[in-house]
Amino acid sequence: EAGVVQSPRYKIIEKKQPVAFWCNPISGHNTLYWYLQNLGQGPELLIRYENEEAVDDSQLPKDRFSAERLKGVDSTLKIQPAELGDSAVYLCASSVAGGTGELFFGEGSRLTVL
Amino acid sequence: DAKTTQPTSMDCAEGRAANLPCNHSTISGNEYVYWYRQIHSQGPQYIIHGLKNNETNEMASLIITEDRKSSTLILPHATLRDTAVYYCIVRDNTDKLIFGTGTRLQVFP
């Protein structure tokens, strides 16, 4: 069975440009998470979806970040415009709602903003 | 903020047991302790979790003190592939996993 798939794996852009990351969770997992990980730090939750509903987006900087999960399956995280401080790894994870709490993470998308 | 405290780094000889401590003195009665690890350039990987009883699976053992204020993750026979950052996490009542900075475990030959 395929794990959580993320793309692109790496992205380099100039500041003020837009960027988008895509995530396809494990089949049947209705909970999807986007995390941000800065160098040397643990992952920080940006947003959590239960099916297509964002149930926790309190840590998402809504002035420049947006996310969607229109059909309750795959998801897109967008940054517009990107800033130098957005350079980080963006991790997607999925889990089964009401399960043991085990999250399955993708390999992440590493963003470099120049 | 993370509700756990872990040492920044640890070393372990290959083949020996790696014992990774974690303090969670403010844990509530219904909060679980989770352990994840993150190998370089990969996403975090679930290891084990527990509430108050000791737990064991094919990857590791989790020992939780009786007062639940601390726990220890045990890798019984560490290998070079176990070199990673290990995160101890208390899962709150909103099901949110808040990662700290973890313990960087270096297994050496």
**pLDDT band at B29, cuts 50/70/90?**
confident
Asked if B49 and A4 come within 8 Å (Cβ–Cβ), the reply is no
Is residue A86 classed as helix, strand or coil in its secondary structure? helix
The whole-angstrom distance between residue A19's C-alpha and the CA centroid of its chain comes to 12
Whole-number average pLDDT of chain A: 94
Query: What does the pLDDT average to over A3-15?
Result: 97
Query: What does the pLDDT average to over B73-95?
Result: 92
Q: Is B86 on the interface with A (CB under 8 A)?
A: no
Hey, what's the torsion of the CAs at B60, B66, B71, B76, to 10 degrees?
-30
* C-alpha distances in Å from residue B22, one per residue of A86, A104, B72, B101, B103: 30, 22, 6, 12, 9
Q: What is the pLDDT of residue A101?
A: 78
Please spell the DSSP secondary structure of B48-67, one letter per residue. EEESSS-EE-SS-EEEE-TT
Q: What is the pLDDT of residue B102?
A: 95
Work out whether the CA dihedral A84, A89, A94, A97 comes out positive or negative.
negative
Work out whether the CA dihedral B77, B81, B83, B87 comes out positive or negative.
negative
Query: What does the pLDDT average to over A108-112?
Result: 98
Asked if A107 and B98 come within 8 Å (Cβ–Cβ), the reply is no
Contact B78, B17 (CB under 8 A): yes
Q: Which of B45, B49, B100 sits opposite A42 (nearest CB)?
A: B100
Q: What is the pLDDT of residue A33?
A: 95
Cα–Cα distance measured from residue A89 to residue A107, given in angstroms and rounded to the nearest whole number: 9
Q: Which of A42, A56, A106 sits opposite B99 (nearest CB)?
A: A42
Task: Reply yes or no on whether the pLDDT at B65 is more than 70.
Answer: yes
Q: Is B42 on the interface with A (CB under 8 A)?
A: yes
Extended beta strands in B24-108, E state = 32-38, 45-50, 55-56, 61-64, 70-75, 84-91, 103-108
B-contacting residues of A 38-67, CB under 8 Å?
40-45, 48, 56
Pick the residue with more confidence: B93 or B106?
B106
Q: What is the pLDDT of residues A32-79, one digit of tens each?
A: 999 999 999 999 999 999 999 999 999 999 999 999 998 889 999 999
Q: What is the pLDDT of residue B6?
A: 96
Work out whether the CA dihedral B55, B4, A95, A43 comes out positive or negative.
negative
**Chain A residues within an 8 Å CB radius of B34:** 101
Of B64, B66, B109, the C-alpha closest to B90 is B64
